[in-house]
Amino acid sequence: MAILYTIGNINLHTVELVAKAVREAEPQIMIHKVVIFDSPESEKLQNEQVEIYRKYFGNFIREGVRINPDGSIDTLLLFHVFANDEEKIVDLSNGQKATSSLLFMAANLCQIDRIYYLILKSAPKEVMLSGRDYDYIKMRQVDCVSKLAKISYFDLIYYNDEMRELFSESERRTNGPLKVIYDGLSSGIKEFFSGTDYRSVVANVTIGNEKIIHSLVAFLQDDKECRQYCADNKICITANRDPVGILTYFSRSYVKNGKKKETLALAAVPNLLASLREYRNISAHYSENGILLTEDQGRIVINLCIEVIKNIHENTKFWEFMKKRK
C-alpha cells in the first residue's frame, strides 16, 4: 500500500503517460491514495485526472492540494499530506519548477527513496513506449539534509528544462554536431542523477567538445566580419596546432577591440572549452592516473558544458553554422 504524490496537469495525455510510467516502475505496489497538487486550471479537470489514474491503479482515495499562483505550496498543507508512515511515491513530471522543486525537497526531507521524473524523448503521440519515446528516471535520494542545500539548484528538472530551451526537436534528431552535443550531455545528466560513475558522466558530457572547437575555427574563417578582424589584427586562426590556444588569443583580442555583440557572446567559450578538454583528458586516463572524479566535478563539467551551449546559442549565425555541419 502506497501513496502517490503528483502535480496536476491540464494536458491529460501527459497525466496518462505519468500514470502509465508509475505503474511500469512500481508494478507490485498497490496505490490506495493519490495526492494531486493542483493549480486552479488543472483543478477544473480533477474528474478527468482521477479517471485516468483509476485506469492504472483501480479505486483509490484522491486528496487535492491547491498550489499558490507562484507555484508554492502552503507549509501546513505540505506537512499534513506527508505526515504519515505509509510508503510514498513522488512524481515530479508536471507543474512549475517551483512546485516540483519544493516536492523534491520535501521528499528528501522525508527520506522517500521513490522519486521519479519523466523525460520525453519524442513528441507526444497515441502510443508511447518506455525507452523509445520516454524515460522514467528514478532520482537519487539526497543522503543528508546538508547535501540537499548543496544541490537543490542543480537538480534534474532544471537541467532538463535548459536542454528543452536550447535544443529544438529537430536539432536533437538531425545528425550533426548539435545532435552529438545533445546526446552526450543528455546521457551524462542521466548518469549523474542515477549512478556514481563520474568518469562516465564526464566522458559523455564532453563528447561533443572537439566538434565545438573545430566548428568555431571553421566559423571564424567563414564569417566575413571575423575574417576581416583577423586580417586587420594579424591573427592567423589556423596558425597554432592547438586550436584552443589560437581561439583564446582571438577572444582576448576581440574583447578589447571587437564591436559585434554576437561575436562578443563567444568570448568566454575558448576558456570554457579548455577546461572541458582537461576534464575529458582526466576521464580518458582515469584508470592510469589514479585520480578519482567526484560528484562535484561531474556537476562542474555539466554546468561548464551548458554554459558553453548558452554562449554559442547567443550567436545565431554560429548556431546555424553548426546546424549545417556534418
Residue 163 lies in a domain: no
pLDDT over 80 at 144, yes or no: no
How much is the mean pLDDT over the chain?
A: 88
Tell me how many domains the chain contains. 2
Sheet strands side by side (includes 115-120) = 61-66, 31-38, 2-7, 87-91, 115-120, 134-138
Asked if residue 15 and residue 125 are part of one domain, the reply reads yes
Q: What is the pTM assigned to this prediction? A: 0.61
Asked if residue 212 and residue 305 are part of one domain, the reply reads yes
Buried b (16+ CB within 10 A) or exposed e, 13-33: eebbbbbbbbeebbeebebeb
Asked if residue 51 and residue 125 are part of one domain, the reply reads yes
pLDDT tens column, 101-116: 889 888 888 888 899 9
Lowest mean pLDDT among 179-183, 184-188, 246-250, 282-286: 282-286
Query: Quick one: the chain helix, strand, coil %, rounded to 5?
Result: 60, 10, 30
Amino acid 92: pLDDT: 93
Residue 317 sits at the vertex; the CA angle it makes with 313 and 323, to the nearest 5 degrees, is 75
Per-residue cell: 78? 505540505
Asked if residue 207 and residue 144 are part of one domain, the reply reads no
Amino acid 193: pLDDT: 81
Where is the domain boundary, 122, 154, 186? Answer: 154
Q: By the 8 A CB rule, do 216 and 237 touch?
A: no
pLDDT tens column, 20-33: 999 999 999 999 99
CATH code assigned at 55: 3.40.50.10770
Residue 180 lies in a domain: no
Amino acid 57: pLDDT: 95
pLDDT tens column, 124-139: 777 888 888 889 999 8
Residue 183 lies in a domain: no
Residue 140 lies in a domain: yes
Pair type for strands 134-138 and 115-120? antiparallel
Which residue in 25, 26, 30, 21 sits closest to 52, CA to CA? 21
pLDDT over 80 at 233, yes or no: yes
Q: By the 8 A CB rule, do 6 and 31 touch?
A: no
Asked if residue 224 and residue 126 are part of one domain, the reply reads no
Per-residue cell: 285? 586516463
pLDDT over 60 at 153, yes or no: no
Amino acid 325: pLDDT: 85
Instruction: Give 179 or 142, the one with higher predicted confidence.
Output: 179
Where is the domain boundary, 154, 170, 193? Answer: 154
Asked if residue 271 and residue 150 are part of one domain, the reply reads no
Give the domain extent around 145: 2-154
Amino acid 143: pLDDT: 64
Amino acid 149: pLDDT: 44
What average pLDDT does this structure show over 317-326? 90
Residue 297 lies in a domain: yes
Asked if residue 21 and residue 144 are part of one domain, the reply reads yes
Which residue in 123, 119, 115 sits closest to 186, CA to CA? 119
